[in-house]
Protein backbone atom coordinates (compact mmCIF):
# COMPACT_ATOMS: atom_id res chain seq x y z
CA UNK A 1 0.00 0.00 0.00
CA UNK A 2 1.18 3.53 -0.73
CA UNK A 3 1.49 5.79 2.30
CA UNK A 4 1.61 9.57 2.25
CA UNK A 5 3.72 11.08 5.02
CA UNK A 6 3.79 14.79 5.86
CA UNK A 7 7.13 15.46 7.53
CA UNK A 8 7.88 18.80 9.15
CA UNK A 9 11.63 19.47 9.25
CA UNK A 10 13.95 22.28 10.28
CA UNK A 11 14.92 24.24 7.18
CA UNK A 12 18.63 23.33 7.22
CA UNK A 13 20.98 22.29 4.40
CA UNK A 14 21.20 18.53 3.87
CA UNK A 15 17.88 17.58 5.49
CA UNK A 16 16.41 16.22 2.26
CA UNK A 17 19.53 14.16 1.68
CA UNK A 18 19.42 12.68 5.21
CA UNK A 19 15.72 11.79 4.94
CA UNK A 20 16.13 10.22 1.49
CA UNK A 21 19.24 8.37 2.69
CA UNK A 22 17.35 6.90 5.62
CA UNK A 23 14.68 5.52 3.27
CA UNK A 24 17.37 4.11 1.00
CA UNK A 25 19.29 2.41 3.82
CA UNK A 26 16.08 0.74 5.01
CA UNK A 27 15.31 -0.57 1.52
CA UNK A 28 12.27 1.64 0.88
CA UNK A 29 11.65 3.18 -2.51
CA UNK A 30 10.29 6.72 -2.50
CA UNK A 31 7.51 7.02 -5.10
CA UNK A 32 7.49 10.81 -4.87
CA UNK A 33 8.88 13.53 -2.67
CA UNK A 34 8.07 17.24 -2.62
CA UNK A 35 9.67 19.76 -0.28
CA UNK A 36 8.90 23.41 0.29
CA UNK A 37 8.91 26.14 2.90
CA UNK A 38 5.99 26.53 5.30
CA UNK A 39 4.29 29.51 6.89
CA UNK A 40 7.25 29.47 9.33
CA UNK A 41 10.50 30.26 7.42
CA UNK A 42 12.47 28.09 9.86
CA UNK A 43 10.52 24.96 8.81
CA UNK A 44 9.96 23.02 5.59
CA UNK A 45 7.30 20.42 4.86
CA UNK A 46 8.10 17.23 2.97
CA UNK A 47 5.37 15.17 1.41
CA UNK A 48 6.75 11.67 0.86
CA UNK A 49 4.87 8.85 -0.86
CA UNK A 50 6.32 5.44 -0.08
CA UNK A 51 5.26 1.82 -0.64
CA UNK A 52 4.91 -0.26 2.54
CA UNK A 53 3.65 -3.80 3.04
CA UNK A 54 2.05 -3.05 6.40
CA UNK A 55 1.69 -0.51 9.19
CA UNK A 56 4.67 -2.01 11.01
CA UNK A 57 6.99 -0.89 8.20
CA UNK A 58 5.61 2.65 8.33
CA UNK A 59 5.98 2.65 12.11
CA UNK A 60 9.60 1.49 11.75
CA UNK A 61 10.48 4.20 9.24
CA UNK A 62 8.70 6.83 11.35
CA UNK A 63 10.72 5.88 14.43
CA UNK A 64 13.93 6.06 12.40
CA UNK A 65 12.97 9.46 10.97
CA UNK A 66 12.35 10.86 14.45
CA UNK A 67 15.98 10.00 15.28
CA UNK A 68 17.11 12.57 12.71
CA UNK A 69 17.77 15.80 14.58
CA UNK A 70 16.01 18.04 12.02
CA UNK A 71 12.69 16.14 12.00
CA UNK A 72 10.05 18.00 14.02
CA UNK A 73 6.81 16.12 13.28
CA UNK A 74 5.61 13.24 11.10
CA UNK A 75 2.00 12.63 10.13
CA UNK A 76 0.76 9.65 8.12
CA UNK A 77 -2.05 11.35 6.19
CA UNK A 78 -2.83 8.35 3.98
CA UNK A 79 -6.28 7.79 5.46
CA UNK A 80 -7.01 11.44 6.35
CA UNK A 81 -9.46 13.57 4.41
CA UNK A 82 -6.99 15.64 2.44
CA UNK A 83 -6.51 17.67 -0.71
CA UNK A 84 -3.88 16.12 -2.99
CA UNK A 85 -2.40 17.56 -6.15
CA UNK A 86 0.36 16.95 -8.65
CA UNK A 87 1.67 19.27 -11.36
CA UNK A 88 2.91 18.17 -14.76
CA UNK A 89 4.40 19.97 -17.73
CA UNK A 90 3.93 17.97 -20.92
CA UNK A 91 5.64 18.84 -24.22
CA UNK A 92 3.58 17.46 -27.11
CA UNK A 93 4.34 17.46 -30.81
CA UNK A 94 1.85 19.81 -32.45
CA UNK A 95 1.29 21.08 -35.95
CA UNK A 96 -1.49 22.93 -37.75
CA UNK A 97 -3.30 19.64 -38.39
CA UNK A 98 -3.58 18.44 -34.81
CA UNK A 99 -3.44 21.61 -32.70
CA UNK A 100 -7.22 21.94 -32.41
CA UNK A 101 -7.54 18.35 -31.14
CA UNK A 102 -4.83 18.98 -28.54
CA UNK A 103 -6.59 22.19 -27.47
CA UNK A 104 -9.85 20.28 -26.96
CA UNK A 105 -8.12 17.78 -24.68
CA UNK A 106 -6.47 20.63 -22.77
CA UNK A 107 -9.87 22.31 -22.29
CA UNK A 108 -11.58 19.11 -21.13
CA UNK A 109 -8.94 18.61 -18.42
CA UNK A 110 -8.92 22.29 -17.41
CA UNK A 111 -5.23 22.41 -18.23
CA UNK A 112 -3.52 25.24 -20.04
CA UNK A 113 -1.05 25.81 -22.82
CA UNK A 114 1.98 27.64 -21.37
CA UNK A 115 4.24 27.63 -24.44
CA UNK A 116 3.63 27.40 -28.17
CA UNK A 117 6.23 26.72 -30.85
CA UNK A 118 5.97 25.66 -34.50
CA UNK A 119 6.34 21.96 -33.77
CA UNK A 120 5.27 21.60 -30.11
CA UNK A 121 3.21 22.95 -27.25
CA UNK A 122 3.84 22.72 -23.53
CA UNK A 123 0.80 21.93 -21.42
CA UNK A 124 0.48 22.60 -17.69
CA UNK A 125 -1.94 20.37 -15.80
CA UNK A 126 -2.68 19.96 -12.10
CA UNK A 127 -4.78 17.35 -10.34
CA UNK A 128 -4.58 13.96 -8.74
CA UNK A 129 -2.46 11.16 -10.17
CA UNK A 130 -5.39 9.63 -12.08
CA UNK A 131 -6.13 12.93 -13.87
CA UNK A 132 -2.52 13.31 -14.92
CA UNK A 133 -2.33 9.72 -16.14
CA UNK A 134 -5.55 10.20 -18.13
CA UNK A 135 -4.41 13.33 -19.99
CA UNK A 136 -0.99 11.78 -20.67
CA UNK A 137 -2.74 8.73 -22.13
CA UNK A 138 -4.87 10.90 -24.43
CA UNK A 139 -1.89 12.99 -25.54
CA UNK A 140 0.34 10.00 -26.26
CA UNK A 141 -0.88 9.44 -29.85
CA UNK A 142 0.22 13.01 -30.75
CA UNK A 143 3.79 12.31 -29.64
CA UNK A 144 4.87 13.27 -26.16
CA UNK A 145 8.39 14.69 -26.31
CA UNK A 146 8.97 15.33 -22.62
CA UNK A 147 7.17 15.14 -19.26
CA UNK A 148 8.14 16.77 -15.96
CA UNK A 149 6.10 15.97 -12.82
CA UNK A 150 6.30 17.35 -9.30
CA UNK A 151 5.11 14.37 -7.31
CA UNK A 152 2.25 14.56 -4.87
CA UNK A 153 1.67 17.42 -2.48
CA UNK A 154 -1.09 17.12 0.09
CA UNK A 155 -2.76 19.00 2.91
CA UNK A 156 -5.27 17.70 5.44
CA UNK A 157 -8.60 19.50 5.14
CA UNK A 158 -9.51 22.25 7.63
CA UNK A 159 -10.65 21.15 11.05
CA UNK A 160 -8.89 17.80 10.79
CA UNK A 161 -5.42 18.79 12.09
- 95 shares a domain with 64: no
Render the burial of 4-21: b for 16+ CB within 10 Å, e for the rest: bbbbbbebeeebeeebee
Residue 161 lies in a domain: no
- 150 shares a domain with 94: yes
User: Domain end: 52, 76, 100, which one?
Assistant: 76
Q: What is the pTM of this model?
A: 0.83
User: Domain end: 41, 59, 76, which one?
Assistant: 76
Tens of pLDDT, residues 124-142: 999 999 999 999 999 999 9
- 87 shares a domain with 152: yes
* pLDDT for 161 beyond 70: no
How much is the pLDDT for 28?
Answer: 84
Amino acid sequence: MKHTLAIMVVNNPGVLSRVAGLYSRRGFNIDSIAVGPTEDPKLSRMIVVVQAEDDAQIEQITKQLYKLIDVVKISDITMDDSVERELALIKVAANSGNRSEILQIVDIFRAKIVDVAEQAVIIEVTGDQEKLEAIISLLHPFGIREIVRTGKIAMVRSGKR
